[in-house]
Amino acid sequence: MKVKISIFGFLDMLKFKNLKKNRENLIENSPSTNIENNYVVNDLANFYHPYKQELEVDDIIVENEDVKSFILTSKAKLAPFKAGSYISIYVNINNELVSRAYSISSSPLDAYKGFYRITVKRVKGGLMSNYLLDKVKVGDKLYASEPGGFLTYNKIRDHKNVVCVAGGVGITPFISMAKAINDHVEDFNLTILYGVDNKKDIILKDDIDYLNKTDKVNIIYVFRNEEVDNYPYGLITTDLIKKYGKDDYSIFVAGPRGLLDYMQKELPSLNLKQKDIRIEQSPIYLNGEDKKYDVIVHINDEVKTIKASSNETLLQALEHNNISIRTKCHLGGCGFCRTKLIKGSYEATKFFKLKEVDKKLNFIHPCSIYPRSDMEIEVYEY
Ligand code: FES
């Protein structure tokens, strides 16, 4: 039998014969340094979801004696966001790295222009708000998480008409939405019912006056303690919401605890679907007898024992002891602060519900739990 070998088969055999030798040569001549690890996809992911953003305070605007807006810029490109989002701000206060979430009150388009604006109201006894209002100055550096949040418009889920109920500084995410409509970044009809005690309590008034001229945006003050011509007086009632909601609408609510609790009770009478209601969560602090517990904290190869109070969240206890972990929402929702529980018991804040998978794997969210015994945990340092 004759075996025919074509010219191509012969060349393949020759290549194969030299394969090993060629490989050895390549290995021999390759550099001993690491391969450059700059993949386009990673760059894109880091842009949308940065681990940390270094920001500089570019300007501070006094809104009133207890509210200031901060213009924050960065040398790097700022992560984009959807109107209604927040960022978690990290500041070093007396050697504690403290973090709190603040809604972005600027337009998504402003992030492309190079800045975020946050608007901060003083909280009585609040470590972060008092520090930001009284100590932070132009040129100071601070860190922020990537933007996030669920108080955002989604054209598949939400109706074309949206009624927002805001109280106090809760107006800020909705101002961002109104700006997004003005910038043609979002397209829906937005009515904001903005509850304030008196005229002097209005914040971001210049923005409101300007945005009220925008097609599709209607911002209405509802004064609680002062009668003002042409404006509703008293509480934001469901009748008022219906008047502006027309037939089909979604409703978003943000503001102080009192407003959120009041709206939780009122909204069922509107007979809306659950998907049409979005209420901003705000922390509910548990207060009781102040007991002190020991918490053993494993951080990489280190072990520290810290004191934690039964009246502070585990996250606050970590921050007071200068242990910084990654956070975002501060409400138990985002999972960024997820921490391994080795032993100990705790009480969770009212709206926080641990996911089954976290329970199974013994993960806790320190932002939303209070120690109720000595504990042992393993954290992932930020
Ligand atoms: S910071 Fe979001 S769950 Fe704790």
| Ligand 1 contact via 333 beta carbon (within 6 Å) | yes
Range picked from 36-45, 55-64, 259-268, 311-320 for highest mean pLDDT: 55-64
* Residue 287 counted as domain residue: no
274 and 306 share a domain? no
Portion of the chain with pLDDT greater than 70, in percent: 95
* Residue 25 counted as domain residue: no
| Residue 282 pLDDT | 67
In this predicted model, what pLDDT tens digit does every residue of 333-372 receive, in sequence order?
A: 888 999 999 999 999 887 677 888 898 999 999 999 999 9
| Residue 40 pLDDT | 83
190 and 274 share a domain? yes
| Ligand 1 contact via 106 beta carbon (within 6 Å) | no
* Residue 353 counted as domain residue: yes
| Ligand 1 contact via 222 beta carbon (within 6 Å) | no
In terms of DSSP H, where are the helices of the chain?
A: 7-29, 40-48, 108-113, 127-134, 172-182, 205-211, 238-245, 257-266, 314-320, 356-361
- Contact between 327 and 337 under an 8 Å Cβ cutoff? The reply is yes
* Residue 34 counted as domain residue: no
- Residue nearest atom 3 in ligand 1 by C-alpha distance: 332
Once rounded to an integer, what is the mean pLDDT over residues 160-189? 97
| Residue 81 pLDDT | 97
| Residue 41 pLDDT | 86
Q: Is the pLDDT of residue 2 over 60?
A: no
Candidates 139, 130, 145; CA nearest to 93 is 130
- Contact between 61 and 71 under an 8 Å Cβ cutoff? The reply is yes
Q: Which of 87, 281, 354, 367 to mutate to test the pocket of ligand 1 (most atoms within 8 A of CB)?
A: 367
165 and 199 share a domain? yes
182 and 266 share a domain? yes
Q: Which two tokens stand for residue 299?
A: 């951080």
| Ligand 1 contact via 379 beta carbon (within 6 Å) | no
123 and 166 share a domain? no
Once rounded to an integer, what is the mean pLDDT over residues 52-65? 96
Q: Which of 337, 352, 382 to mutate to test the pocket of ligand 1 (most atoms within 8 A of CB)?
A: 337
CATH of the domain at 90: 2.40.30.10
**329 C-alpha to ligand 1 centroid (Å):** 5
248 and 310 share a domain? no
Given 144, 177, 205, which residue is the final one in a domain? 144
188 and 223 share a domain? yes
In this predicted model, what pLDDT tens digit does every residue of 284-337 receive, in sequence order?
A: 666 778 899 999 999 988 999 999 999 989 999 998 898 989 998 888 888 899
**227 C-alpha to ligand 1 centroid (Å):** 41
**328 C-alpha to ligand 1 centroid (Å):** 5
Q: What atom of ligand 1 comes closest to residue 365's alpha carbon?
A: 4
Distance CA 305, CA 315 (A): 14
| Residue 283 pLDDT | 62
**331 C-alpha to ligand 1 centroid (Å):** 6
Alpha carbon of residue 247 to chain centroid: 31
Q: Which two tokens stand for residue 178?
A: 């109104």
Q: What atom of ligand 1 comes closest to residue 335's alpha carbon?
A: 3
**334 C-alpha to ligand 1 centroid (Å):** 5
**101 C-alpha to ligand 1 centroid (Å):** 10
**87 C-alpha to ligand 1 centroid (Å):** 12
265 and 373 share a domain? no
| Ligand 1 contact via 330 beta carbon (within 6 Å) | yes
Structural domain of residue 324, as residue ranges? 292-379
CATH of the domain at 374: 3.10.20.30
In this predicted model, what pLDDT tens digit does every residue of 136-171 receive, in sequence order?
A: 999 999 999 999 988 999 999 999 999 999 999 999
| Residue 34 pLDDT | 72
Pairing of strands 189-196, 217-223: parallel
* Residue 167 counted as domain residue: yes
| Cα separations in angstroms, 334 against 11, 22, 135, 148, 261 | 59, 51, 29, 9, 22
Q: What atom of ligand 1 comes closest to residue 326's alpha carbon?
A: 1
**185 C-alpha to ligand 1 centroid (Å):** 28
* Residue 10 counted as domain residue: no
**140 C-alpha to ligand 1 centroid (Å):** 26
Q: Which two tokens stand for residue 244?
A: 């502006």
| pLDDT band, residue 179 (cuts 50/70/90) | very high
| Residue 37 pLDDT | 67
**326 C-alpha to ligand 1 centroid (Å):** 8
| pLDDT band, residue 210 (cuts 50/70/90) | very high
In the chain, the number of structural domains is 3
**Whole-model pTM?**
0.82
| Ligand 1 contact via 335 beta carbon (within 6 Å) | yes
* Residue 119 counted as domain residue: yes
244 and 181 share a domain? yes
| Residue 204 pLDDT | 96
* Residue 11 counted as domain residue: no
Given 144, 178, 209, which residue is the final one in a domain? 144
| Ligand 1 contact via 328 beta carbon (within 6 Å) | yes
Given 144, 175, 200, which residue is the final one in a domain? 144
125 and 169 share a domain? no
271 and 176 share a domain? yes
Candidates 174, 58, 43, 172; CA nearest to 118 is 172
203 and 258 share a domain? yes
Helices then strands, each counted (H, E), the chain: 10, 18
